[in-house]
Amino acid sequence: MGVTTGNRGTTTQRISTTQEGFITTNGSGGASSSSSSSSTNNKKKWSNLMPLIVAIVVIAEIGFLGRLDMAKNAAMVHTWTKSFYYASLGGVSTSVLEDDDNFDVLKIHNIINTTSTSNSISNSNIQSESGNNNTGGADDCEVWLEKQDTVSYSRDFQKEPIVVSGLEQDWNTCAVGCKFGSHSSDKKPDAAFGVPYHAPTEGVLRSMESAHYYPENNVDQARRRGFTVIMTTSLSSDVPVGYFSWAEYDIMAPLQPKTESALAAAFISNCAARNFRLQALEKLEKHVKIDSYGGCHRNRAGNVDKVETLKRYKFSLSFENSNEEDYITEKFFQSLVAGAVPVFVGAPNVMDFAPSPAAVLHIKELSDVSSVAKTMKYLAENPVAYNKSISWKYDGPSDSFKALVDMAAVHSSCRLCIHLATKIRETEERGPRFQKRPCKCTRGVETVYHLYVRERGRFETHSIFLRSGNLTLKALESAVMAKFESLNHVPVWKQERPESIRGRDELKVYRIYPVGMTQRQALYSFRFESNSDFRSYIESNPCTKLEVIFV
């Protein structure tokens, strides 16, 4: 084998090897191979080594050039890869990527997942690289939504409290800044009692009288007269002012022995009521013995303590002067305090106010008197059956009863201020700044919805988040419980209820409903009928605001 060189102006030589492997040369000028001089031998040795040296140099150069070419290509790929990931990260700081020795895809993936979500989420749409759901992505959504959905309100009610004129302040604390009384400042009050609406002042009608006697107290009629906030005994009014409260009535007072021979006591003084209560009294007297202490059919001295007197009777005639929904006065609640089973004439929905299903005997119509009298006699003669009627005194009232009376744990004047402040914020939320809130974000196939919730009787709301894959009523309740438990929340009624029915520190959800509903709706008529109904509501009402009742 040989390598031939043919450079211009030089002698061409043939390099070859002998059969034994020794190197020999044959010049084109026919030099003799038999020369034995010393100089010729030295030249021959160098000539023999030259091809080997050249071969080594050529091989080394080829290897070096190949190495250099690979290094350049690798550097180009490395640089392109870094540029691609830098662009993907958007505003993420790339200082952590400057160390070429440590640069790898895994590090980039970790940086993407842990960087500020405001850079990795845009237009309320997060897409994971794989398209699969993951908890980390949903958590990123929550952080991002908490930031993006936070918009400052123009009014801080602690610095600029709600101002109501027309009545003096008769309460101490409230969840929102609130001032009552006469105000001489140039700023107009937010609301005024007794006068119709006159911008920007809301007109407030407040009364605890029956609309049957005072038609102007009817909610619809009051609105037609220009009042924008209604406060009556009706649970359909904006701010109900019922006759009930834990503070006013010792509802869980212990029972006393029933020592009177008469089955029932009556305290009725208005004998010209517009309902049938007087006729019911007359008819009932024909069936059972009744001690009457009031002005109507009096047969006992009336100068007595009503509640202490009722404690000695098994039954109490709680006859209202009108059959109006929600109009249930002290007559009913004093009977509960005394532990005398109320025999009731009045509001058709009295069972909404009952501490237990067996706690009330309701005369709905005059024709019911005979059957009710029969039940009274049966219960009086059967202690076990009678004790079931008053067992709530030992076992505690129903959750529905507690939820109703707990409403009054917050003074009605404070609830008025909460109502007014809520309306002010709702008006502002319809403006462009709030309409820009995303209220939801999507990662892969999962969407996270941002909701707000507060306890009834409180003002400020707290964030909760629900996933589209579990947008259910059960998930809603779990999220609400988790949020308030994490806050070590103490229910607003905790110090108002009798100690025997305060319960422990755990929370129990009774109702969850949209902010702005009446207590009639919240307690009795409103329900999300199904998970799909709930989902539809959430999707149709971005940044939904809810209220929860704990019992």
Identify whether residues 448 and 333 lie together within a single domain. Answer: no
Residue 275: closest CA among 341, 368, 364? 364
| Residue 4 maps to a domain | no
Q: Is residue 376 a contact partner of residue 343, using CB atoms and an 8 Å limit?
A: yes
Here the CATH number for the domain that contains residue 318 is 3.40.50.11660
What pLDDT does residue 549 have?
99
| Residue 247 maps to a domain | no
- Give Cα 186 to chain centroid, integer Å: 38
Give, to the nearest 10 degrees, the angle between helix 473-486 and helix 531-540. 70
Identify whether residues 236 and 287 lie together within a single domain. Answer: no
Q: Strand 440-443 to strand 125-126: parallel, antiparallel, or no bridges (unpaired)?
A: parallel
| Residue 259 maps to a domain | no
Distance separating alpha carbons of residues 520 and 235, to the nearest angstrom: 5
What pLDDT does residue 60 have?
64
| Residue 17 maps to a domain | no
Identify whether residues 350 and 415 lie together within a single domain. Answer: no
3-state secondary structure of 513: strand
Identify whether residues 526 and 420 lie together within a single domain. Answer: no
- Neighbouring CB atoms inside 10 A of 27's CB total 12
| Residue 15 maps to a domain | no
Identify whether residues 282 and 371 lie together within a single domain. Answer: yes
Identify whether residues 190 and 276 lie together within a single domain. Answer: no
What pLDDT does residue 44 have?
54
Identify whether residues 462 and 425 lie together within a single domain. Answer: no
| Residue 40 maps to a domain | no
Q: Which amino acid is at 243?
A: Y
Identify whether residues 452 and 491 lie together within a single domain. Answer: yes
Identify whether residues 453 and 429 lie together within a single domain. Answer: no
| Residue 25 maps to a domain | no
What pLDDT does residue 23 have?
38
Question: Phi-psi bin for 297: left (phi > 0), alpha (psi -120 to 50), beta?
Answer: left
Residue 491: closest CA among 543, 535, 465, 456? 456
What pLDDT does residue 192 have?
97
What pLDDT does residue 448 have?
98
Identify whether residues 345 and 283 lie together within a single domain. Answer: yes
Structure-token match 């009552």, residue found? 180
| Residue 281 maps to a domain | yes
The total domain count for the chain is 3
What pLDDT does residue 309 have?
99
What pLDDT does residue 3 have?
38
| pLDDT tens, N- to C-terminus, the chain (551 residues) | 443 344 434 433 443 343 334 333 444 444 444 444 444 555 555 566 666 676 676 566 665 545 544 444 444 434 443 343 333 333 333 333 344 444 444 343 443 343 444 434 444 444 433 333 445 677 899 999 999 999 999 999 999 999 999 888 877 899 999 999 876 667 899 999 999 999 999 999 999 999 999 999 999 999 999 999 999 999 999 999 999 999 999 999 999 999 999 999 999 999 999 999 999 999 999 999 999 999 999 999 999 999 999 999 999 999 999 999 999 999 999 999 999 999 999 999 999 999 999 999 999 999 999 999 999 999 999 999 999 999 999 999 999 999 999 999 999 999 999 999 999 999 999 999 999 999 999 999 999 999 999 999 999 999 999 999 999 999 999 999 999 999 999 999 999 999 999 999 999 999 999 999 999 999 999 999 999 999 999 999 999 999 999 99
Identify whether residues 353 and 387 lie together within a single domain. Answer: yes
Identify whether residues 549 and 502 lie together within a single domain. Answer: yes
Enclosing domain of residue 389:
264-395
